[in-house]
Amino acid sequence: MKIKELNDIAHAMMVKGLLAMDESIGTCNKRFAELGIPQTEEYRRNYRELLVTTPNLGSCLSGAILSDETIHQHTSDGIPFVEILVKAGIIPGIKVDKSAKDMAGFPGEKITEGLDGLRERLKEYYSLGARFAKWRAVIKIGDGIPTRGCIESNTYLLARYAALCQEAGLVPMVEPEVLMDGTHTIERCASVTEEVHRSLFHQLYEQRVNLQGIILKPNMILPGKDCPVQVDDDTIANATINCFLRSVPAAVPGIAFLSGGQDSKKATSRLNAMHSKNRPPLPWELTFSFSRAIEYPAIEIWGGNKDNLEATQKALYHRACCDNAARRGEYNAAMEKE
């Protein structure tokens, strides 16, 4: 695959925003269990059908990330979910990591698995219609962590995954998530995130990944959720952009933020603050690739009940519209009442 094609896909992914509907079976079941929804394949399929068939979703999304189970599923009328997305103008992507596991020898830290057999899986996903892939590494802040060993092992794996994706013609969406769990300050989040990005871009360079054909999916720079000092949206937007200007090369076409457990409206208003009209032009496009911040209000309405379908789709569409407005710096609190 030529870099021009990967770069074109990467830019097309950034035009609006992305929905990360790629919960693994375990994570999806956990969310269902919290709401008393049966944890079966049919309920997961019903839920994903509801998401992809939401009317007008393509007006606010340019991509959606599926999981291995979902990319093989169809609507109740037998239409592959991938086909529904493509018809709506939404580029299908696929989560290809096999989740973060306890890291041997590194208590309290995680390592993401999934490289074995990846070349063959990528070929299959491409043939099913996926045009980008996603791999998430998890970095936790705490006493004495993250360690250098954890950071370097995870960024090395992200770089090998990215190289395999580019070989297969899929844009790698590279996700190093520094978790917001904990009591750490916003300054500590910034210094850890910067260290992770420096290691990541060193590894991407060593593994010959072309930065013009990737998307970065990072955390925003936030205080830990139990930090006594919380800050306003502008402080978060400025800290995030300053950290990224120091650590993300200009060759990267786009940055699509994860929400990481932030309140939905806060995730939206913080993205909006990054697009403030007073800011000098940035080297990369900035958008969203949220899961919980888009899906939570909707899934709570659905609750597994088909009678709630219309209200659920309305809630999903509303959040995606607000996030797409924030992606252009056009969001305001009044939109929440519409």
Structural element, H or E, at residue 331: none
Q: Which is nearer to ligand 5MM, 168 or 258 (CB)?
A: 258
Q: Is the peptide bond before 253 cis (omega within 30 degrees of 0)?
A: no
Which residues, numbered 177-236, are part of the site for ligand 5MM (CB under 6 A)? 177
Mask 257-296, x = binds ligand 5MM (CB under 6 A)?
Answer: -xxx-----------------------------xxxx---
Q: Bridge partners of 287?
A: 256
Whether 314 sits among the annotated catalytic residues: the reply is no
Q: Which residues contact 302 (CB under 8 A, 6 or more apart)?
A: 37, 47, 50, 308, 309, 312
Catalytic one of 175, 177, 194, 295: 175
**By CB under 6 A, how many residues form the interface with ligand 5MM?**
16
Q: What is the nearest approach in angstroms of ligand 5MM to the Cβ of residue 24?
A: 3
Interface residue with ligand 5MM among 15, 24, 79, 183 (CB under 6 A) is 24
Whether 266 sits among the annotated catalytic residues: the reply is no
DSSP string, 40-60: SHHHHHHHHHHHHT-TTGGGT
CA distance 223 to 169: 37
- Asked if residue 70 binds ligand 5MM (CB under 6 A), the reply is no
Q: Which is nearer to ligand 5MM, 21 or 325 (CB)?
A: 21
CA distance 180 to 223: 7
Burial of 26 (0-12, 13-18, 19+ CB in 10 A): exposed
Please answer whether residues 316 and 49 qualify as being in contact, where contact means their C-beta atoms are separated by less than 8 angstroms: no
- Applying CB under 6 A, the span of 23-31, 148-156, 202-210, 313-321 interacting with ligand 5MM comes to 23-31
Interface residue with ligand 5MM among 73, 99, 191, 207 (CB under 6 A) is 99
Q: What is the nearest approach in angstroms of ligand 5MM to the Cβ of residue 287?
A: 12
Interface residue with ligand 5MM among 48, 110, 121, 136 (CB under 6 A) is 136
Two tokens at 182? 């904990």
Please answer whether residues 158 and 137 qualify as being in contact, where contact means their C-beta atoms are separated by less than 8 angstroms: yes
CA distance 154 to 157: 5
Catalytic one of 16, 95, 140, 217: 217
Q: Which is nearer to ligand 5MM, 27 or 305 (CB)?
A: 27
CA distance 4 to 148: 35
* Residue-level length of the chain: 338
Q: Which is nearer to ligand 5MM, 44 or 275 (CB)?
A: 44
Query: Which residues contribute to the site for ligand 5MM (CB under 6 A)?
Result: 20, 22-24, 27, 95, 99, 136, 177, 258-260, 290-293
Q: What are the catalytic residues?
A: 175, 217
